[in-house]
Amino acid sequence: MKKIQIATLVVFAVLAIAFCLLESGTLSWLQSGLLGVMSPISRSGSAVKSSIGTLGKDLMTLDQLQAEYERVLSENRKLRAENNGLRDLQQDNDHLRQVLGYRERSSFRLVPALVLGHDAGVWWSTIKINRGSADGITPDMPVITDKGLVGKITAVSSNLSEVLLVTDENCKVAAKVEGTKEQGISAGSRDPVGELRLTFLSKLADLQPGQKVYTAGVSGGIFPSGIALGTVKSFHARELDGEAILEPSADLGALEEVFIVTGAK
């Protein structure tokens, strides 16, 4: 074996050992760098995918466009009317909260983001979004849609972030069941079936399918209180506690746009 080959093998061995000994801070920094490298590819790929997906939709006749325009216009009027009604309700709600001395916790500062793709990792449920540290995004920020909780930010580069979905086993959320005093911890499962498991409930909890589950907003936690998490599908008592299976509120398989909660208003 030539000297140069021995030298390259020694350098290789040193590099391999160094990689194995890297600490979480350095790994996180390297991951951020890799996300930065992948960002332009993911963004342009997502744009191409989106263009291909909408190609058929763009090819509409004038009649179809007119019909679509009228439908959207009518929907817009309906939504405006609903929004006005909700604004009144919000004012009443705010007033009642002030009267009761509760802190207003339902208003968030939101940053909209586009979903670039679902990660191909099989054992982790993560997605990539087109917002990063340049938009003020930091790890552990909650991610939501108008339907409910999506997950939390786990890795950030300048304009790309990774979101750990609520269906991942590692995404644990303190949750409460609507209309009861039941509280528990929700998490996904390793066997990725897209359901949530709400554990540490009372064995005698009287939960019915269809009951809504919301985030509990514990002190020191990252998820604010009152965000829809899921709906009870079934409940069963275990040896020490009760466990409910939940259907996530947000449609995690068809996410296109999400909002990152950057703080309270």
Partner 1 sequence: MRQGILFIILLLLLPISVAVQDLLPAIPPFQGRVQLLPVVFCFGVMALPLVPSLYFALATALVQGLVLLQIQSGQVELGLTVPVVFFLTWAILLQMASEATHGMRWEVHALGSAAVTLTLLGIEFLVLCVKRGGLPLEMTVLLRVVIPSVAALLIAPLLYFALRKLVPVFLEENPLPKKPNFSR
Region near partner 1 per CB under 8 A, out of 7-15, 99-107, 176-184, 236-244: 7-15
**Neighbouring C-alpha atoms within 13 Å toward the C-beta of 96:** 6
Q: What would the DSSP string read from start to end of 232-249?
A: EEEEEE-SSSEEEEEEES
The torsion angles phi and psi of 190, rounded to 5 degrees, stand at -70, -35
Q: Which is nearer to partner 1, 56 or 101 (CB)?
A: 56
Q: What burial class does residue 106 get, using C-beta atoms within 10 Å of its C-beta: 0-12 exposed, 13-18 middle, 19+ buried?
A: middle
Size of the site for partner 1 (CB under 8 A): 44
Region near partner 1 per CB under 8 A, out of 8-16, 79-87, 214-222, 227-235: 8-16
Look up residue 77 and give its two tokens. Answer: 């009027």
Find the binder of partner 1 among 106, 110, 111, 119 (CB under 8 A): 119
Q: Which is nearer to partner 1, 24 or 219 (CB)?
A: 24
Contact call for residues 173 and 163 (beta carbons, < 8 A): no
Find the binder of partner 1 among 77, 80, 147, 190 (CB under 8 A): 190
Q: Which is nearer to partner 1, 192 or 217 (CB)?
A: 192
Cβ neighbours for 180, distance < 8 A, ≥ 6 positions apart? 205, 206, 207, 211
Q: Which is nearer to partner 1, 177 or 187 (CB)?
A: 187
- Beta carbon of residue 11, minimum distance to partner 1 (angstroms, whole number): 9
Region near partner 1 per CB under 8 A, out of 59-67, 112-120, 129-137, 236-244: 112-120
